[in-house]
Each structure stands twice: as structure tokens, then as C-alpha cells.
Structure 1
Amino acid sequence: MKKQTVIVTGASSGIGLEVARYFLDRGDHVVINSQTESKLKEVYKELGAGENLVFLAGNVADKSTGEALAKIALEKFGSIDVLVNNAGIYDNKPFLEVTEEYLDQFLTTNLKGTFFTTQAVIPQMQKQKDGVVINVGTPLVYHAIAQSPSTAPISSKGAIHALTLQLAAEFGKDNIRVNTVAPGLIRTPMHDETIDNNAGMHLINRIGEPEEIAQMIHAIAKNKLISGAIINVDGGMGAGHSL
């Protein structure tokens, strides 16, 4: 299996970090991105600072960041085979308390970041007649929880699910696959130490680990037939609870 060039956004911690590690450990070239350069440099060193790894700091909400990521991937490794749109933010707030500024945070980082980073890599994938874009969504798009009001972030993630299907349809002719992985509750810095108290949200009655999401993302990246799919990796959360 040939080495692929993989761009991972939001790679300074949690799922993004483990995705980068997973591809690196299997011999691929990886470009990591995060908004905070100091943290990204630490991760670069943690991952070995090898010749098959480069980093570029920047906010994916800025269209120029996606363009810069595509440029550095081509300059360093000569191709763009996989884009993992992992960068995103989440928070809970009752609907009636949501302000325009608050909503814009999620639409800008989650949706706009995914949209324009993808737009930056598609032309190269078209030239290659090959490529895969993997977005990160959530099963909460279709599985609302009354005790956890989160209309702003979930609206942005729902838009990403819709974007996935539209892109898969538009660029299937170019052999470009577009999918979304929807993690359940995962042990990441985004959650506090009480996350295990919510294990019952999963039918398997445990919290997921970032590497388990990385495994699925890697499998999708290597498969040539999966496209237009929203794949829950959520311990059965989309089907029910063990509460």
C-alpha cells in the first residue's frame, strides 16, 4: 500500500493528535494543523519530528489556512491523498440564550473551516483522480438529548453532514470520496474528568478512546469504495442508551 499524504486539522490534542499518530505509525506522510503554534510545536516533537511530518499553525476559519495547508503538503510530499477535517468546537447553551456572536463561533470554525479547507484540497485530488475527505460530525445530529441543549454546535455539525453528501455527489466522478465519522463520547481534553459518569450514553457502557476514532478514520482512508457515508463510532449511542 503506497504512502499517502494526510492533512489533519485540529491535531494538537484528542482525536486529531491520535489520527496523526495513527497514520504516521503506519508510514504515511502527515501535515498537522492547529490554531496555537506553541502547542503544535510540542505535538510535532511528541510525534517524532521526522521527515514524514510537517506542521502549519493557523485558524481553519480563515480560508488562507486551508490554502497554505494544501501548498505545504504539495511542496513537502507531492500529493494530497487524505484530508481529515477534525478542527471544531463544542459547548452547551440553552437555545433562548444563544446570541448571534455565539452562533457565529460554531458556524465559522466548524462549518466554514471544513468547507474552505476542503475547497483548498479538491483541485489537487481532481488532478490525481483520487482522494478522500473525512469530516468529523456527531451522532447528536440525529439523537438529541434534552438535558444537553446544544443547538449552535449541532446545527453546524448537521451542516457538515449535509456537506458530506453534497461533496460526495459532486466529486464522485473524479474518484474523490467524502465521508463523515461521527464519534460518541470520547475521552479528550474537550471533556472533563467526569466523562465516565456518562458511560451509559453508550450501549456498551463505556467511554470511547481517541485511538478508536483514529482506527476508523484510517480504515476509511484506505478503502476505495466508501463514499457519502455518515459512520457513527459511538458505542451504540445512535441506537440507544444503557442508562
Structure 2
Amino acid sequence: MSQSPKVVVVTGASQGIGFETAKAFRALGYNVVATSRNIKQTDDSNLVAVAGDIADPATARRVIETAVSRFGRVDTLINNAGIFVAKPFTQYTAEDYAAITGINLGGFFHIAQLAIAEMEKHESGHVLSVTTTLVDHAIDGVPSVLASLTKGGLAAATRSLAIEYAKRGIRANAVSPGIIKSPMHAPESHGALGALHPMGRMGEMSDIVNAILYLDSAPFVTGEILHVDGGQIAGH
């Protein structure tokens, strides 16, 4: 009897890294539950779209309930949803703070709790978050305090989860990108953004997707923050 396909939940999946990640898992035969605010359902019966704000706990409940009712389990959670607002620290507003912490932290907390509760039933699973190398290597001219506050929290939480659940068969890892070519960066900015990396160029979305796929397929790797950043973490 063949083993049932694994089930992966991908947040922030309507465009960019999340979209490419969901597509890559489907190509590998995974059942996928994809979520974002404006995501549309496709004709693929093995890729289910759940629209909603990931900062809202009700969205997290709908996503995990959909995964379990449709496919029976949750094997992997890709916590990709996030927002980045580059402002001088003193210019952040209360609305900025609420939006960034709501999505980057709340969006992780609510859905990861529910996903891990399902993983515990099967004593296996993987929680993978997408952070940023700015957490470890701030760049002059790229104000990023709220990114560091929130995504840095995810990096720390990843290590904590890895230890807490190591003996229960559940892994936790993160991918820490540099600046990646995606819809959020206008093509005319690519040259300047690429120059911020020691390798002299921006990363491709495929670089991040391949890192995610590697970590998901590496059963002896947990608590790892994998930097995919053109050398930024090493210095300048």
C-alpha cells in the first residue's frame, strides 16, 4: 500500500516566495493548503486555498481545520507570511506596529499552535519559518527595527520549539533570506539592492524555495536558521 501524500500548509501563498513554495510542494506530490488575504481557489483538488488575514486567529483555525478535514493531517507548516516596513524607528506609527506584529508574530503564533497540536497526534511534523538576515546583520540605510523585533523573535522561537519538541518527532527550522527578487521590489531597484550582498546580486525566489525543500527533507536537522543571503551573514 502506498503511503498517503504529505500535507503542507503555506501562509502568504498568493504571490512571491509563498506562491512558489506551494507550487514546488505540489510538484513533489504534496497535498497543499495555501492561505493569504486574497488567494483564489484553483482547479487542483489537491491544493486548497483559504482566504483570510493570518493575523486573525479565526483564519488560523479555518486553515488547520481545512487541512485536517480535507487531507486528514498536517505534516509541515511553512510560516512565510510577513510584512516589512522600512522607516526610521521614531517614525513608526501605532498602526505600523500593530500590523507588523500582528502578521509577523501573531500570524505565526496562532497557526503554529494549532498545527503543532495536530502534529503531536502523529508524533511527527515540521514547522519552518521565513525570517530575514537583517535580524543578524543590520544594514546602514535600511531601517529595520520592527523586522528585527518580529523576525528575530521567530528565529529565537524556532530554536526553542526545536528543543521543546525534539523528542516528540516534531522539527523546527527557519530560512533567513537576504533581499530576494520578488514583486515587492521594483526592477529598477535591483541593482542597488543587489549591491548590498557580498555576492553583488539579489537572490532568486528559487534559492529560498530550494532551501525550504531541503530543510523539509532533512530529518536530522532541527533548530537550524539557514541563511540564504549571498554572504550577508558573513559580513562585508
Q: Is the structural similarity TM-score above 0.5?
A: yes
Match of 1:138?
A: 132
Question: Of the candidates 193, 197, 206, which is equivalent to residue 211 of structure 1?
Answer: 206
- Give the C-alpha shift of residue 188 in structure 1: 0.8
Question: Of the candidates 155, 160, 163, which is equivalent to residue 161 of structure 1?
Answer: 155
Would you say 1:93 and 2:87 are equivalent positions? yes
- Give the C-alpha shift of residue 2 in structure 1: 5.9
* Contact 2:9–2:78 (Cα < 8 Å) also in 1: yes
* Contact 1:202–1:240 (Cα < 8 Å) also in 2: no
TM-score using structure 2 length: 0.94
Would you say 1:177 and 2:171 are equivalent positions? yes
- Give the C-alpha shift of residue 196 in structure 1: 2.9
* Contact 1:106–1:152 (Cα < 8 Å) also in 2: yes
After TM superposition, the structure 1 = structure 2 runs for residues 1-243 of structure 1, keeping only pairs within 5 Å, are 3-36=5-38, 40-41=39-40, 44-45=41-42, 49-193=43-187, 194-241=189-236
Cα distance in 2 for partners of 1:130, 1:4 equals 11
The count of aligned residue pairs is 233
Cα distance in 1 for partners of 2:115, 2:191 equals 37
Q: Helix, strand or coil: the match of 1:76?
A: helix
The structure, 1 or 2, with the larger RCO (C-alpha pairs under 8 Å, 6+ apart) is 1
> Which residue identity does 1:134 align to in structure 2?
L
* Residue-by-residue CA offset, 1:187-232 (whole Å, 9 max, x unaligned): 1112122123221222222211112211111111111111111111
* Residue-by-residue CA offset, 1:56-113 (whole Å, 9 max, x unaligned): 0011111121111111111111110000000110011101212333212111110110
Cα distance in 2 for partners of 1:99, 1:32 equals 30
Gapped regions of structure 2 (runs ≥ 5)? none
* Contact 1:130–1:175 (Cα < 8 Å) also in 2: yes
> Which residue identity does 2:194 align to in structure 1?
A
Gapped regions of structure 1 (runs ≥ 5)? none
Identity %: 39
Q: Helix, strand or coil: the match of 2:146?
A: helix
Aligned in 2, Cα 1:2/1:195: closer, same or farther, shift over 3 Å?
farther
TM-score using structure 1 length: 0.92
* Contact 1:201–1:240 (Cα < 8 Å) also in 2: no
Q: Name the Cα RMSD after superposition.
A: 1.4
